[in-house]
Structure formats: structure tokens, C-alpha cells
Chain A
Amino acid sequence: MEYKLTYQTYNEALKKDKLLGLKCNNCGTITCPPKMTCQECTGTDLEVVELSGKGEIATFTTSFVASLGREGEAPYTIVLVELEEGAWLMGNLIDIDPSKVGMELIGRKVKLGHKVYPGDLYSAGEGVRPLFSFAD
């Protein structure tokens, strides 16, 4: 069975600040990031849809350590955002001082942008990360 929305296709769209997801024609759930099957009902009758890119911060952390080759990025804030469509998406939060953020972030409304992660020896090429900024 062919993958409906691959990493590459999803990333190419994200590079244009378009967030793609999969709408399940069985139960209506939006699965994002994409997978072979619906996150809730495991259905495969899925349709590629463009999501709003809007949501609110469910949780966060500011990392003061970074992996090999990414030391220059620290400190940076990672967020899990609950999208308007229900799915959760991991990304970074920008336009803040990462070392000063706290619990007040949870529930803040955010909107999506992107930044290319160039990749390293182990990543099989580049990746694209969602960059969130406050929408309120």
C-alpha cells in the first residue's frame, strides 16, 4: 500500500509554511505528522488536507544542552502544540527569550512558520521544523 503523505512531500509543503495532515474519511480524525493509518481508528481511507497551522501550546521545555553539531542552538525552546484540528505537533517557539519562559506559555495561542534543519551524518538528509510564534 502506497504511503499517502510522505515525509518528503510533507516537508516540501512545510517549507512554504503549509502544514499538511491526513483527514480520516472513516472517523474524521486529523493525523499530523502523517502516518500510514489514522491515529485513532487505524483506517486507511485518508485524504491529504491543509491544516490551519494554528493551535495552542500544550507543553514546552527550554533545552540548555544540545546534540553533537547543534551546540550553537542552545538554549532553545521546544513546544508541543495542540493544533486547532486536534493533533499535536512538535516544533520550536521563537520571538521569546528561551531562558526566561515558564508555565505561562501553556495555553498561549501560536501560529506556524518553519526553519530548515540541514541534517547531520545520521539524519538521512535535511528536515524541516515547525517554528511557532505567538498569535495572540
Chain B
Amino acid sequence: MRRVAIVGTGHTKFMFNSPKSGVELLAEASMDAINGSGLKPKDIQAIYCGNVLGDFSEGQGMIQSYLADDIGCFNVPASRFEGACASATMAIRDAYTWVASGFYDIVLVGGTEKATAMGTPLATRTFAMFSDGRYEYPSGITFPAVFAMLAHLYSKRYNIPLEKLKETLALVSVQSHEYGVKNPNAQFQKEITTEQVLRGFMVSSPLQLLDCCPFSDGAAALVVASEDVAKKLTDKPIYITGVGQASSGKLSAQYKYLPRLRAREVSVKQAYDMSGLKPEDIDVCELHDCFSIASLIAAESLGFAEFGKAGELWEKGETRIGGKIPINVSGGLKSKGHPIGATGASQAYEIVRQLRGELVDQGRQVEGAKVGLVDTLGGDGVIVSLILSAD
């Protein structure tokens, strides 16, 4: 297997009610990634992109093919990945595999979503499609309800009084908004307080409005290339040194393992083993904080805290820049936004920029960051992990 690097990146602003279409958004991010790599569309050999709900939000399926045509990558093989919120991370992992194998040298990866066009009731319906539609949707399961049930289970399992847990969870959202203010691509550019989180509208108990990420529109893209090509294109290639992916069944089928998600533990172990790295080697992490509780659950499975103890990371400021493991200093899904088909590419974009040292001007550079981890969760059943390294 050859070494594979990310050579260029693109990212639109994440927002509510974008005036642009899903293809337009991804075309913008893609051209920035291609131009930033010193390439032309004709150099792209294949396109892998995440898009989850274009069928519902724009009446547009097969977005990958229209994107290829739109940006002048005529007739290249283009594939759409659907793994709910992890779609674009799946696309990156597959791009990695195809380039590492030697089949392609240069692949464009990315993702796009235009979720806010659906309005909240249809968006809620479609997001619930990433729970079991036969055995669990009839009970009215929603995306927040899944993590709400995990929050209660977390409180019970680890013997943390719910009131105390909710205060800790509020800190997760507060930190995300603090960094989101510094990220020009972020959907929310406003600080919030613990009191505001705890006063918010109850969405699905115990999760209140500011425990939840928003519906979002936006796109992100990356160019992935073999090491020899990458070295000719850039003096700052960011290598994909570990990848992992795992799946799991409906929430009830994960029964006694909950609130831990076994798929995440399987996936990240693949990535750690492949890279030869350990949790303590990670300098910066973007993890899947679709809900405040999801951050704690993820941080534990990724090896940054003991089970039941991740709250202390946020309480002690260890997740901030300068802390033991800076987490979601982009604003995360909570503040940066969560256009689901684009999220994994956005997370990888953030880590690439951190490892290239490009975020000094935004006041959120993790100084000397050499290794970063991307963690993306789709529905209750897909996890993808990526370890990126500056050399």
C-alpha cells in the first residue's frame, strides 16, 4: 500500500437557508480544493462524495454525477456515499483505499447538504431515517431522542446525578460556541452561557435546544493524492496514516453495551493500529458532537478519558487549546454547523489546516500540532475514524 496525502482543501460557509444549491456549494468547495492543490479538473481521476438527503431537500439524487459535470471533471467515475452523518468520512476512507492501492493517483472527495431547505418537520422525519425504520421509528424515535436516551443511560450507568451531568454537558456547548466565534465558516458566531443552555427549550429530555447541533447547509472538499504526486504539488502534504470504519445495528440491538458504542471502539482501534499511534499521541481532535452527550461518549471511546469520566476533560479545560487534547476547536458540529453529507470532509478540512499551521490568524491554532484525529458517527450505526499526520 502506498502512502496517501491530502493536498488541497475547500470549505463553504455553513449556514441556515443557503441561497445556493447542493451542487453549487460542493462545486465551490471542490474548485477551492483543486485550485489549492495546483491542479485542474482534468487531473481528477475519480470523485467520491457524501450527500445524504438531496433526494428530499432538493429532489436531487445522483448529485455526484452532476457535480463532476459542473466542475468540468467530464466523465470521471463519480460515486455517492450514504452513511448518514458519516457519509463524507466514508468517502475519504474509500478515496484513501483506492489511492493507497495504486488504482488512482488523484481523487476528489467531499460532501454537501442542504438540510435547512426541508424545514424542521421534514428534516426531523428524514434524520429519523437513520434509526431503524421498521422496529424503532413507529415509537417516534428521532435523532435527538437517540442521544437523549443515551444521556439518561450514561447518568445511570456511571452514577452521575442528572443535574450534575447536564451542567457538564452545558460546558461542552459553551466551549464549542466560543471557538465557533473564531471560525469564519461557522454557522453560529455567538458565545453562549451555561445558564442559556440550561434555560433552553426541551427538545428530548434531558437534551435542550443548545445541547443539539443545528440543521445546516454547506459543503467541504479535499484532494487526496499518492505520496509521490503529493510531494510535487505541495510542501505541506498531510498524510492519512490511519483509517477505520465499523457499523452496528439498531439501537436496541446494541443493548447491554450502551451507552458505549462498540462500532466506534472497533473503528478507532483500526486507525490507531494502522498508524502505530495511541490516544496520547493525538494533538488535536474533531469528534462527532451532534449532541453534547455525544462528545463525552466519543471522547471515552477514542481513548481520551476513562468510561464515565470524559466530563472532567471539559470541566478542567483539557479540551481547549493548550489542554491535554483540544477537541472541536473549530466550533464542532454544535457551532460550526452540521450539513450532514459534508460534515466528515469539514472535520478533515479542520484537522488538515491545524496540521499545516494555518489557523494562527483565526486565533485557534493548536501550536505544533502534528497528528490529528477525525471521528464521525452516522445515525446509530456507522463510525469512521481517520488519523492524519503532518509527516
Contact = CB atoms under 8 A, between A and B. Distances in A.
Contacts of B139: 78, 90-92, 129-130
B73 to A, nearest CB: 33
B202 A64 contact: yes
A36 to B, nearest CB: 11
Contacts of A102: 162, 205
A92 B156 CA distance: 20
Contacts of B138: 117, 127-129
Given A68-B124, A88-B252, A127 B137 contact: yes
B150 A59 contact: yes
B282 interface: no
Given A60-B152, A61-B148, A73-B140, A67 B134 contact: no
Nearest to A106: B156
B39 interface: no
Interface residues of B, number: 44
Given A61-B149, A129-B138, A130-B139, A103 B252 contact: no
Contacts of A80: 149, 153, 251-252, 255
Contacts, number: 125
A61 B145 contact: yes
Interface string B148-165: 111111011000001000
Nearest to A115: B138
A65 B152 contact: no
Given A68-B122, A78-B149, A90-B252, A103 B137 contact: no
B1 interface: no
Interface residues of A, number: 41
A40 to B, nearest CB: 10
B136 interface: yes
A64 B152 contact: no
Interface string A111-136: 00000010010110001111000000
Nearest to B131: A90
B135 A33 contact: yes
Interface in A60-75: 60-71, 73
Interface core residue of B137, B206, B250 (most chain A CB under 10 Å): B137
Given A64-B204, A129-B139, A89 B122 contact: no
A44 interface: no
A35 B202 contact: no
A51 to B, nearest CB: 13
B192 interface: no
Contact of A67 (B142, B251, B253): B142
A131 to B, nearest CB: 9
B353 interface: no
B125 A122 contact: yes
Given A65-B142, A90-B135, A130-B139, A59 B121 contact: no
B368 to A, nearest CB: 42
B229 interface: no
A61 B136 CA distance: 14
A82 B257 CA distance: 12
A66 B140 contact: yes
B149 A59 contact: yes
Contacts of B121: 66-69, 71
Nearest to B122: A68
Interface in B301-316: none
Contacts of B152: 59-61, 103, 106
B198 interface: no
A60 B154 CA distance: 11
A77 B176 CA distance: 29
A48 interface: no
A58 B153 contact: yes
Interface centre among B121, B144, B153, B252 (most CB of A within 10 A): B252
Contact of B134 (A7, A68, A89): A7
A20 to B, nearest CB: 12
B71 interface: no
Contact of A61 (B120, B156, B205): B205
A117 B139 CA distance: 8
B252 to A, nearest CB: 4
A89 B242 CA distance: 36
A41 to B, nearest CB: 14
Contacts of A120: 125
Interface string B242-255: 00000001111101
Given A58-B255, A120-B125, A129-B138, 7 more contacts: A58-B258, A63-B148, A73-B140, A89-B252, A92-B140, A122-B129, A127-B138
Interface of B: 120-122, 124-125, 128-129, 132-142, 144-145, 148-153, 155-156, 162, 201-207, 249-253, 255-256, 258
Top 5 nearest A-B pairs (CB, nearest first) are A127-B138, A61-B148, A117-B138, A67-B125, A88-B255
